[in-house]
Structure formats: structure tokens, C-alpha cells
Amino acid sequence: MEKGVLLCVDDEIIVLTALKDQLRRAFGSDFHIDVAESAEEALELLDELAQEGHKLLVIVSDWLMPGMKGDEFLIKAHERFPTVVKIMLSGQAETAAVDRARREAGLHHFLAKPWNAEALVQSIMQGLSARKD
């Protein structure tokens, strides 16, 4: 059976490494964990993964990134992949951006940096159990 994909998006490689390590510890090999260093790269990767037949399950995205901000990215991702669980993880997100992501992207949860790994895993599990597809 094909593993589902968890995608982490952040412009800081150290954050991506930490997220990937925490998710691997929590989920083992249950999921394929992928990373992207920008919203643009993430949109391309999502399209590639979908074309290859992978099941896209969760996006964990930063808000403050060069180019496209996280709320805009999540809205674009939601338009293409509405059933994907979307989580924003940021230390500098504007309240209006988080609200916009909730309204227009179906944002499941917002977590502030520095994040608690257990809270992130719990948010992912809750999102997966509430998925409608």
C-alpha cells in the first residue's frame, strides 16, 4: 500500500531538518516525509507527487517566507488539494493571515514557533482523523 505524504515547508533548512526528525520519530515509516524550502517549490512538489499517484495528507507550512507567504501558499494548495490537512507553524504570522488561511484554505491548526513536537504530532493526528476523502 502506498504511504501518504507529509510535506513540511519552511525557508530555514534547520527547521525542516528538525521537523523531519520529529515526524520520523513520531510516525516511523508510516508516512513519506518530504520538505520544500519555499512555497513555489512546494506547489511544484505537490503537483509532481499527485501526478505520480501519491496520497497527499498533510502540509505543515511556515508563514514568513521569501516570495509567497504561507497563507497565500496554503490557499493555492487548498484550491488544488482541498482534502489535505493544513497546519501553519510560524513565529511571526500576522493574525489576519492566520484568519485568512482558516477561511480560505481550511487551516486545521496554527502552532507558534518554537513549537512543541508533541502538540504538532497531536495536531497532525487530529487532522488526519477528521479528513474527509
User: Is the distance from CB of 19 to CB of 35 less than 8 angstroms?
Assistant: yes
Q: How far apart are CA 87 and CA 123, in angstroms?
A: 8
pLDDT at 24 exceeding the cut of 50: yes
The answer to whether the bond into 66 is cis (omega within 30° of 0) is no
Residues 6+ apart with CB under 8 A from 98: 63, 71, 88, 107, 110
Domains of the chain: 4-130 (3.40.50.2300)
pTM for this prediction: 0.95
Q: What is the pLDDT of residues 42-68, one digit of tens each?
A: 999 999 999 999 999 999 999 999 999
